[in-house]
A and B are shown apart, each in its own frame.
Chain A
Amino acid sequence: MAVVRLDKICKRYGNAAGPVAVDNVDVTINDGEFMVLLGPSGCGKSTTLRMIAGLETISSGTLSIDGRVVNDVPAKDRDIAMVFQSYALYPHMSVAENLSFGLKRRRTDPAEIERRVRETAALLGLDGLLARKPHALSGGQRQRVALGRAMVREPMVFLFDEPLSNLDAALRVNTRNELIKQHHRLGSTMIYVTHDQVEAMTMGTRICVMNGGRVVQVGAPLEVYWEPADTFVARFLGSPPMNLFTVRAPAEAGALEAGAIRAPLPRWRPDRLGALAGREVVLGLRAEDLHLDPAAAGPEGGRIRGRVFAVEPLGAETLLAVEVPGGHECTARLPRHIRARVGETVDLHFPASAAYLFDAGSGLAIPADRPDAARAGALP
């Protein structure tokens, strides 16, 4: 049980002027929390995890576990366990030896080792495999051994470095559920690095979105999804990504009119919109909020008019790619039965409450003054 606190953590390579991999990361991971570090490759999430593990030095800032500063504590003395992307099983040891190695190195009582290995193996369905060497295991089995090797140690903190990325799609879903189950059972603090938004949304109690070495937003999965802090988060979470339109803010308060786009903005107070008048803003609309049927958008809804340039039937739904005058493209996620032809001009309708606004320069969200009633219910 542990609280992991990152206080202005930086990682620079080479000297003090060297390239910055992790820039002023400030996050607290609460006891028993499942924190997901999410971001594109190269965003510094793995480096952050490895600094927590003690596999990379911390250039500046303080890292503490349960109030104890561990910057200079060697990895082996931090009481953490890590599941690696490649699993990193010891190739010359059997499954049982892999599981017990860390405990033996810590001079745990042999009877206790035996008990824990049996228990963990039973829990993960590894009973029949204890005598095997890693090369005789399937990918999924290796993954479970790697997880078991971490669990058997009963550490204060579990670290995961993209542990599912080497599994095929079906196994990934299974293992994801297995991990969620084990987190509930153990109740330990877990920190999980991934670039997969689905893993982040389904597993995390909170998500920490990183970009360019910085933390962009920390929050519960749906909170991050519904209230993205900036355009990066808005596009990174969501598939297809949120549609963004750079337009001039309305001169007349209450709605945004820009050629083919008409968006009423009832969630922002008229005086705040007025302050933006004449400036460039970014209008954001999620693909699933766009409809061909005006009724779905409600009486006060907005509209985008454009020319269809691609129809992508996915089976369960259909994606419609639309070219909007003014150099924009947007994607709508529609029911599977819609009919649209390439070249046809269509109107996409959306509820007025679905609109997001971002500052065109900084990309930061311009928060709405009234919460969206529909979404509020979904938030914790």
Chain B
Amino acid sequence: MSAPSPLPRRFGRGAFGRGALGLVIGAYTLYTLGPFLWLATMSVRTTGEISADHYAWPRPFHWEQFRIAWVDSDFATYFWNSAAVVVTAVAAVTLVGAGAAHALARYRFPGNRVIYAILFSSIIFPPQITLISLYQILVDYGLYNSLIGLTLVYVSLQLPLTIYLLEGFFARIPQDLFDAAKMDGYGDIEIFRRIVLPIGMPAIATTVILNFIQLWNEFLFAVVLITDPDKRTLPIGIRSFMGDHFQDVGMIAAGVMISVVPVILAYVFFSEKLIRGMTAGAVK
């Protein structure tokens, strides 16, 4: 029997093929999720317990590991630094990027495509081309080793992707809608606020989540531009903690879990949006 799907939903021949496929798929799933689950078990065990057996089930669950990491090992500081920088940067890059994307998608003016190409092309730049100079520039302007400086840099890092994703979406909003709004007497700014932003909300949400995750995970610029332990974001915080206490596996695991929780939450609630955002533009 063939199913109504374009492809008969069967793979391999008979039970053997099916079994082999199931085995491969099971193994791959273990390969992707296994390490993470291992990490999760270690985060609720003390380092002493872990040294005794790295693969034992946590018994008892040492939830206090998280409190120790949060309070005594400064992960709270790192967490709030990350949160402040990332939230501000994402808000700014969304606003700035949405405005530019709207103008580039909607209005005809000389140089439109040139501006778009220039903004977009920086997506392929290797980060080193700006890294060294940004370091010098931030030093010059007193923004080195400051969360504000890092936030500004983060906005510039995510701007090309934001404009690229939003421009693609905004360009598909039918022009008729804008013509109707103009005939109803809306001005350019009102059109942006009352039409583009509400209609573009799904795409904007996708970009917001995507930018959030990418910046939450950012390492290179943070490690160059931040030196003060009080100003560390989570990635460099964890990295330096590991440098100082590389034997303390349990505590590192707890710290890593703290840094991963927001990402997991975002993924649990927005997995479809995230996957779509990350794949946008790659399907040709």
Contacts and interface: CB of A to CB of B under 8 A. Distances in A.
A57 interface: yes
Interface string B1-42: 111100010000000000000000000000000000000000
Interface in A58-115: 72, 74-75
A245 to B, nearest CB: 41
Contacts of B3: 57
A80 to B, nearest CB: 14
Instruction: Among B1, B3, B8, find the residue whose CB has the most chain A CB atoms closer than 10 A.
Output: B1
A55 B4 CA distance: 7
Contacts of B2: 54-55, 57, 74-75
A56 B1 CA distance: 9
A348 B4 CA distance: 52
A56 B4 CA distance: 5
B11 to A, nearest CB: 15
Contacts of A57: 1-4
Contacts of B8: 74
Q: Give me the 3 closest cross-chain CB pairs, A-B, nearest first.
A: A56-B4, A57-B1, A74-B2
Nearest to B8: A74
Nearest to A73: B2
B220 to A, nearest CB: 40
Interface residues of B, number: 5
A55 B1 CA distance: 10
Contacts, number: 12
A49 to B, nearest CB: 14
Contacts of A56: 4
B10 to A, nearest CB: 11
Interface in A339-372: none
Contacts of B4: 55-57
12 contacts: A54-B2, A55-B2, A55-B4, A56-B4, A57-B1, A57-B2, A57-B3, A57-B4, A72-B1, A74-B2, A74-B8, A75-B2
Nearest to B4: A56
A72 B1 CA distance: 6
Nearest to A71: B1
A154 B3 CA distance: 27
A54 B1 CA distance: 9
A74 B2 CA distance: 7
A194 B143 CA distance: 70
B4 to A, nearest CB: 5
Contacts of A74: 2, 8
Nearest to B1: A57
B278 to A, nearest CB: 27
B283 to A, nearest CB: 16
A86 to B, nearest CB: 13
A20 to B, nearest CB: 15
Given A55-B2, A56-B4, 9 more contacts: A54-B2, A55-B4, A57-B2, A57-B3, A57-B4, A72-B1, A74-B2, A74-B8, A75-B2
Contacts of A75: 2
A74 B1 CA distance: 7
Nearest to B6: A55
A60 to B, nearest CB: 13
A374 B120 CA distance: 74
Contacts of A54: 2
Nearest to A55: B2
B7 to A, nearest CB: 11
Instruction: Among B2, B3, B8, find the residue whose CB has the most chain A CB atoms closer than 10 A.
Output: B2
A159 to B, nearest CB: 16
Interface string A35-66: 00000000000000000001111000000000
A351 B44 CA distance: 95
Contacts of B1: 57, 72
A57 B4 CA distance: 7
Contacts of A55: 2, 4
Nearest to A11: B4
A272 to B, nearest CB: 48
Nearest to A74: B2
A197 B3 CA distance: 32
Interface in B182-231: none
A50 to B, nearest CB: 9
Interface string B240-275: 000000000000000000000000000000000000
Interface string A133-150: 000000000000000000
A313 to B, nearest CB: 33
B9 to A, nearest CB: 11
B47 to A, nearest CB: 55
A54 B6 CA distance: 11
A127 to B, nearest CB: 33
A56 B2 CA distance: 7
A243 B139 CA distance: 86
A72 B8 CA distance: 13
A325 B129 CA distance: 84
Interface in A175-207: none
B255 to A, nearest CB: 50
B15 to A, nearest CB: 20
